[in-house]
Amino acid sequence: MSAQPRTVTSAERLRRLLALVPYVAARRVVGLAETASTFGMTERELIDDLNLAWCVELRAPEPYCPIDLSYEDGEISISQAESIARPLRLAADEASALLVALRMLADATGPGGGDGGSGGDGGPVSRLLAKIETAAGAAGAASSQVTVQQFNSKRVRAVADTITGALAAGRRVHLRHYVWSRDEVTERDVDPMRLLVVEGRTYLEGSCRRAEGVRLFRLDRVWSVDVLDVPAEVPVEAEPVDVDAGLFRPSESDVLAELELGPEARWVAEYYPCESMTELPGGRLRIGLRTPDTTWIRRLALRLGEDARVVSPPGLADEVRAAAAAALALYE
């Protein structure tokens, strides 16, 4: 058993059971471990659920046990599931969440729907979308009231399409990429791994020949992309970024920079991941940003002018003032 058992409400558990019983019933025999992992539970929890289903007894009019199942040698089988052999219909939340996600995938993979541009009857994304729309029926209606726009310009869309093509063809690409934080352009050859869309920004994740490692490139900062006549060679040891943990994980060695924002500059707190945020009188806000390189915070402070003030580290506040003074001198 895991050290910290999760608490599952009776409703969540019932929802899970009403999917678990049909899941096993539709497959005759399934592995215990595989089923537990599919349902995101431990084997112990799974066995508890199976016992619970097996214990269901209706006392009237005639006593009988509607569900008959067995588990042994790491395998489960259900010989009788009665009226719950089929899963429950999708609820509105379920259908909508999945349809919105699939429409994002369809949009990101383009008209081929993930078939690598081979044409034909449409890729798996569009086929699956059509099947789920049909199966969901009215429960999917609310999904049309949630829209997600992933590509913020035609240029980014075109860069994404070129990269999708390179991914499908297994080719290396050459990028001209702008590093905003250092205001410089870099040229590099990259073996593409996948496109990530996170918080409204699209990134190419790839193995960079120059950095000899996996890197992310924001597509709106890719100034040009060329597909090379060279097969991509993603090293076997290339580790994809763990997107769930967040793209930018501050490290302990990073500098903590604190800024005080006026009402006009509150957008900064929405735009950058802040480690801390404190409301101050008059609609002002104090934020903490953790970063390995403070160059971009100096640029940000210059851009915000009187709407922001660097509180710490003091050296950074001095840098901002020095840069402003040097710039003003050019106007004298």
Contact status: 303 vs other proteins (CB under 8 A): yes
Q: Which is nearer to other proteins, 83 or 251 (CB)?
A: 83
**Dist. CA 329–CA 247, nearest whole Å:** 40
Instruction: Lay out the site mask for other proteins across 181-220 (x = CB under 8 A, - = otherwise).
Output: --xxx------x-xxxxxxxx-------------------
47/168 with CB nearer other proteins: 168
Exactly one of 32, 228, 302, 311 binds other proteins (CB under 8 A); which one?
302
- With contact defined as beta carbons under 8 Å apart, do 274 and 287 qualify? yes
Asked if 228 and 186 touch (Cβ cutoff 8 Å), the reply is no
Give the Cα-Cα-Cα angle 104, 108, 109 (nearest 5 degrees): 120
264 part of the interface to other proteins, by CB under 8 A: yes
Closer residue to other proteins (CB): 205 or 253: 205
- Our finding on whether 18 is near other proteins (CB under 8 A) is yes
Say how many residues touch other proteins, by CB under 8 A.
124
Shortest Cβ 216–other proteins spacing (Å): 12
Q: Does 132 bind other proteins (CB under 8 A)?
A: yes
Nearest-approach distance from CB 253 to other proteins, in angstroms: 26
> CA 148 from chain center: how many Å?
14
180's CB contacts (< 8 A; 6+ apart) are 221, 296
- CB within 8 Å of 248: residues ≥ 6 apart: 273
Nearer to other proteins, 131 or 210 (CB): 131
Residues 53-112 that bind other proteins (CB under 8 A): 53, 55-61, 66-67, 82-84, 86-98, 100-102, 104-105, 108-109
The reply to whether 326 sits near other proteins by the rule CB under 8 A is yes
Calpha distance 194→217 (Å, rounded) = 11
Interface mask toward other proteins for 137-166; x: CB under 8 A: x-x--x-xxxxxxx-xx----------x--
Instruction: Give the total residue count for the chain.
Output: 332
Across 102-122, b (16+ Cβ under 10 Å) vs e yields bbbbbbbbbebbbbeeeeeeb
Single-letter residue type at 214:
V
Residue 23 · residue 46 · CB < 8 Å:
no
Residue of the chain from 2, 4, 118, 134 that contacts other proteins (CB under 8 A): 134
Q: Which is nearer to other proteins, 59 or 252 (CB)?
A: 59
Q: Is 327 in the site for other proteins (CB under 8 A)?
A: yes
d(CA 222, CA 197): 15
The window from 16-24, 71-79, 227-235, 253-261 that contacts other proteins (CB under 8 A) reads 16-24
Location of structure tokens 């851009």: 303
Query: Which stretch in 120-128, 207-215, 227-235, 250-258 sits in contact with other proteins by CB under 8 A?
Result: 120-128
